[in-house]
Amino acid sequence: MLAAALPDFITVWIQCSRPAAVQLMFSLYAVLGLIAFVLYRPLSPAVELAEEAPRAPLRRSKRLVYGMAALFGMDSLGTGFLVQSLLALWLYQAFHISLTTAAAILFWSSLCSAASYLVAVPIAERIGLINTMVFTHLPSNILLILIPFAPDLATAVTLLLARSALSQMDVPTRASYVMAVVEPEERPAAASLTAVPKTFAWAAGSMISGYLLTLSTFGWPLVTGGVIKAVYDILLLIKFRKVRPPEEAEPVTD
C-alpha cells in the first residue's frame, strides 16, 4: 500500500511524467509476480499433508452448503463495492487527497484488517464461530455505512480504521465453520462450492460500484455495500445460529 505512493516520488527523483511513473509501477508489479513464480516453482506435492478421508461429492451436506454458498455470495457482492482502488478514488473525489495520502490511509487500514485475523481466534473460542462472524462483522458494516456521512477527512479515516479492525474476523472463522459442519470427505467439494459464487458476486459488485461513482461523488458504493453485507450478517445468524460445529456442541448428559 505504501508503494502505491511511489509515482509521486518517482516524478521528482527521475524527472519523468506521471503516466511514465505509473507505467513503471505496473512493470514492477509484473516483476514481483515473476519472483513469486520462481519461489513457488521448486515446491512439489511432497509438501502437502496426506489426506486421511477420501474425497466425495456433496450428499448429506448439500442443502447446508448451498445455503452457505448463497449467503457468502451475497457478502462478496457487498465486498465488491469496496475494492481498494475504488475506495481510493472515492477518497480523492470526496476530500481531494493526494495519492501519497491515500496510500498511507489504505496502509493503516490494511494493518488493522490483518490484526483482526489474529483477534478472531480467541474471540471465537469464547463465543463461537457464528457469533464471532456476525457480532464483529455487523458493527463493521454499520461503520462502513457511516463513512460517506463524515464531515471531514479525519472523521472518515477514523471510521474506516475502526471498520477495518473488525472487518476480517469473519474470514478465518467462516473457513473454519464450513470445514467443521460438513463431513470430512465432503470438505473439498464444500470449499469449491462456497468459493466460486463469491468470485462472480465480487466482480458484479465492483462493476456496479464503478458505475455509481460516475453518477455522484457521494459514497453510494460504501452505503450500498454496507447495507448488503449487514443484511447478510442478519440472515446468517437467523439461518445458521443453531447449526453448530462439533467442538461447540453441548455435551450430552445422562
> Following DSSP, what letter does each residue of 174-240 receive, concatenated?
HHHHHHHHS-GGGHHHHHHHHHHHHHHHHHHHHHHHHHHHHH-SS-HHHHHHHHHHHHHHHHHHHHH
Contact 245, 177 (CB under 8 A): yes
| HSE, side-chain direction, 13 A CA sphere, residue 205 | 29
pLDDT > 90 in the chain, percent:
50
Q: What are the structural domains of the chain?
A: 2-40 (no CATH), 56-245 (1.20.1250.20)
Give, in order, the Cα–Cα distances in Å from 202 to each of 1, 53, 73, 143, 207: 21, 32, 8, 20, 9
Per-residue pLDDT at 62 exceeds 90: no
CB atoms within 10 A of CB 235: 16
pLDDT score of 52: 64
Q: pLDDT (tens digit, 9 = 90+) per residue, 10-48?
A: 888 888 888 888 898 899 999 999 999 999 998 888 777
Left if phi > 0, otherwise alpha if psi is -120 to 50, otherwise beta: which for 134?
A: alpha
Model-wide pTM > 0.85: no
Give, in order, the Cα–Cα distances in Å from 113 to each of 13, 47, 57, 162: 32, 29, 34, 9
Of the candidate ranges 50-64, 76-90, 137-151, 185-199, the one whose mean pLDDT is the lowest: 50-64
H or E segment and range at residue 88? helix 84-95
pLDDT score of 166: 93
Average pLDDT score over the chain: 88
pLDDT score of 254: 46
pLDDT score of 149: 95
Q: Which three cell numbers stand for residue 204?
A: 458484479
Q: How far apart are CA 32 and CA 51, in angstroms?
A: 33
Per-residue pLDDT at 250 exceeds 70: no
Q: pLDDT (tens digit, 9 = 90+) per residue, 100-132?
A: 898 899 999 999 999 999 999 899 999 999 999
**Packing angle, helices 220-240 and 187-215, rounded to 10:** 150
Of the candidate ranges 3-17, 40-54, 75-89, 97-111, the one whose mean pLDDT is the lowest: 40-54
Per-residue pLDDT at 245 exceeds 90: no
Quick one: pLDDT band at residue 225, thresholds 50, 70, 90? very high
